[in-house]
């Protein structure tokens, strides 16, 4: 019987390992709380994308 390897990622908020599959509905977060904390940080401007990429064909 084939066993698939589980892909684990760390929750970006608290660092808890999270299985990357349908069994983890909040992935990459471990739970709704960590997801909402992260969303709040983006909304407050505490997180942002630092650089704008130039994707022109020059």
Annotated ligand binding at 12? The verdict is: no
Annotated ligand binding at 30? The verdict is: yes
Annotated ligand binding at 19? The verdict is: no
Annotated ligand binding at 42? The verdict is: no
Question: Which of 3, 7, 11 is closest to 20 using CA atoms?
Answer: 7
Question: What Å distances lie between residue 18 and 2, 8, 15, 49, 53, CA to CA?
Answer: 22, 5, 9, 24, 30
Q: Residues within the annotated binding site?
A: 11, 14, 30, 34
Q: Residues within the annotated binding site for Zn(2+)?
A: 11, 14, 30, 34
């Amino acid at each position: 019987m084939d066993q698939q390897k589980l892909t684990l990622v760390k929750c970006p908020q608290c660092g808890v390992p999270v299985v990357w599959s349908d069994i983890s509905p909040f992935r990459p977060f471990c739970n709704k709380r960590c997801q909402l904390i992260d969303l709040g940080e983006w909304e407050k401007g505490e997180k942002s994308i630092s650089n704008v990429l130039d994707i022109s064909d020059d």
